[in-house]
Amino acid sequence: MQISIHYHPQEEPSTLLDPYTNLKVGGQLLKNSIASSNDPVIGVGRYFTWKSEDESRTHGREVWSIYSHIRALSYQEQGGNQ
């Protein structure tokens, strides 16, 4: 995951090069951003920016669209319906 050490300083930034640590830290940041809003799209967008709700929504929609597409492909591979 992309973790900005400018906005999320780490005691030892090089530990983020470890995939497990990176996912653990990034997952917690994403969890916190999603929990910050009743709208999951805005919450996901806040992983990218907290600057404004509009910017968060825009980015969140982009991510949500990609997620939806991947999920649909996964269902197709499994022979199921959405």
Distance, in Å, from the CA atom of 62 to the CA atom of 68, rounded to the nearest integer, reads 10
Place of tokens 């199921």: 80
Positive or negative torsion for Cα 44, 49, 55, 59: negative
Give the pLDDT band of residue 79 (cuts 50, 70, 90): confident
pLDDT by residue (tens digit) across 20-56?
A: 999 999 999 999 999 999 999 999 999 999 999 999 9
CB 41 within 8 A of CB 60: yes
